[in-house]
């Protein structure tokens, strides 16, 4: 079975043959460094115009293809937590010479932890509910009526973001009917999770 990293490595084969021929060894080392630093950095990535100015002997189309392929390969390596021998083998299968592999692995190893951290912060990581407080209030008047003794619940959720130890508060008010509706939805959710876990 073919691993995703091998699929990305095959695309490196196709692009590399045309791209690498225009690079000197130092230029290729600089280009790989730029690609990896762009993935690791919070700053904006290099624009195609900046790359064309820096690597003027290579066509913009080839630069763009090579850049996107190298960046995709870096992300796939980090996402799969690929070890260096797997990465090296994949690059060898893509017909990269040893000096080009070293030019890739050196900055990659330096920036790997930073890229892993960035990927961990990317995506939809929802806060966890760690506590719930509620109290029953009575609405004495409203804009529609002068006097009304309507029960109203104030609910306060304490949430903890995944990437922080600091607690956040989420507070809202609801009527008895709204609270009952929310409780029914929570029960449906719990039943669905139980059914799913028993499969």
Residues 147-159: pLDDT tens digits? 667 788 999 999 9
pLDDT tens by residue, 127-144: 888 999 999 988 776 666
Lowest mean pLDDT among 11-25, 53-67, 77-91, 96-110: 11-25
DSSP state of 94: T
Report which secondary-structure segment, H or E, holds 135: strand 128-139
d(CA 28, CA 112): 19
**Tokens for 61?**
């189309």
pLDDT score recorded for residue 155: 92
**Tokens for 90?**
């994949």
Average pLDDT on 106-114 reads 92
Selection from 126, 118, 36, 30 nearest residue 73 by Cα: 36
**31, 23 Cβ separation under 8 angstroms:** yes
On the question of pLDDT at 165 being above 70, the answer is yes
d(CA 37, CA 68): 13
Alpha helices in 41-175 (DSSP H): 48-54, 60-79, 84-93, 98-121
pLDDT tens by residue, 41-90: 877 767 777 877 888 777 888 888 888 888 888 988 888 888 898 889 88
Indicate the pTM of the whole model.
Answer: 0.58
For residue 177, count CB atoms less than 10 angstroms from its CB and return exposed for 0-12, middle for 13-18, buried for 19 or more.
exposed
Q: Tell me what the pLDDT averaged over the chain comes to.
A: 81
Residue 168's SS3 state is: strand
On the question of pLDDT at 3 being above 60, the answer is no
């Amino acid at each position: 079975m073919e691993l995703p990293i091998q699929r990305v490595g095959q695309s490196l084969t196709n692009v590399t043959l045309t791209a690498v021929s225009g690079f000197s060894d130092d230029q290729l080392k600089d280009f790989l460094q730029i690609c990896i630093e762009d993935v690791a950095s919070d700053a904006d990535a290099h624009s195609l115009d900046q790359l064309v100015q820096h690597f003027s002997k290579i066509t913009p189309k080839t630069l763009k293809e090579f850049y996107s392929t190298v960046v995709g390969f870096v992300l796939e390596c980090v996402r799969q937590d690929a070890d260096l021998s797997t990465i090296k083998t994949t690059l060898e299968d893509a017909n990269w010479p040893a000096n080009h592999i070293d030019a890739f692995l050196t900055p990659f190893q330096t920036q790997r932890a930073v890229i892993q951290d960035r990927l961990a912060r990317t995506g939809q990581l929802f806060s966890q509910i760690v506590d719930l407080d509620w109290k029953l209030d009575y609405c004495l008047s409203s804009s529609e009526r002068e006097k009304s003794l309507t029960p109203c619940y104030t609910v306060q959720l304490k949430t903890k973001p995944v990437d922080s130890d600091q607690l956040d508060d989420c507070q809202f008010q609801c009527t008895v009917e709204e609270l009952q509706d929310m409780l029914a939805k929570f029960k449906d959710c719990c039943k669905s999770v139980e059914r799913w876990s028993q499969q």
